[in-house]
Amino acid sequence: MATIREINAFGRRVVVSGIGLVTPVGIGVGEVWSNLTAGESGISRVTSFAADGYPCRVAGEVKSFNAEDFTDHKSVKRNDLFALYAIAAAKLAVTDAEINLADVDRSRVGVIVGSGIGGMATISEQSRIFLSKGARYVSPFMVPALISNIASGIIAIELGVKGPNCGVVSACATGSHAIGEAFHWLKLGKADAVLAGGSEAAVTPLSFSGFCSMHAMSTKHNDIPETASRPFDATRDGFVMGDGSGVLLLETMEHAKARGAKIYCEIIGYSASCDAHHITAPDPNGDGLVTCYKELFAETGIAPTDVQYINAHGTSTQYNDKYETLAIKKFFGTHAHDLLVSSIKGATGHLLGATGAVEAAVCAKTIETGTIAPTINYAVPDTECDLNYVPNESLKAEVTYAISENMGFGGQNAVLMFKKILQ
Catalytic positions are: 172, 313, 350
Cα–Cα distance measured from residue 299 to residue 238, given in angstroms and rounded to the nearest whole number:
34
Check if the beta carbon of residue 363 is closer than 8 Å to that of residue 311: yes
340 has which bridge partners?
A: 309, 388
Q: Interior CA angle at 159 toward 155 and 162, to 5°?
A: 85
End-to-end CA distance of the chain: 30
Residue at 290: amino acid letter: V
Cα–Cα distance measured from residue 394 to residue 390, given in angstroms and rounded to the nearest whole number:
7
Check if the beta carbon of residue 219 is closer than 8 Å to that of residue 134: no
With CA atoms as reference, report the closest residue to 316 among 413, 385, 372, 409. 385
In this structure, are strands 165-166 and 244-252 parallel, antiparallel, or unpaired?
unpaired
Residue at 246: amino acid letter: G
Check if the beta carbon of residue 395 is closer than 8 Å to that of residue 413: no
In this structure, are strands 309-311 and 44-45 parallel, antiparallel, or unpaired?
unpaired
Cα–Cα distance measured from residue 16 to residue 348, given in angstroms and rounded to the nearest whole number:
22
With CA atoms as reference, report the closest residue to 366 among 419, 313, 328, 316. 419
Contacts within 8 Å (CB) and 24+ apart, 48-56: 48/203, 48/204, 49/204, 49/205, 51/205, 51/208, 54/208, 54/209, 54/212, 55/212, 55/217, 55/219, 56/208, 56/211, 56/212, 56/217, 56/218, 56/219, 56/222, 56/238, 56/240, 56/241
With CA atoms as reference, report the closest residue to 18 among 181, 146, 195. 195
Non-local CB neighbours of 201 within 8 Å, separated by 6+ positions: 80, 81, 82, 84, 85, 119, 120, 121, 243
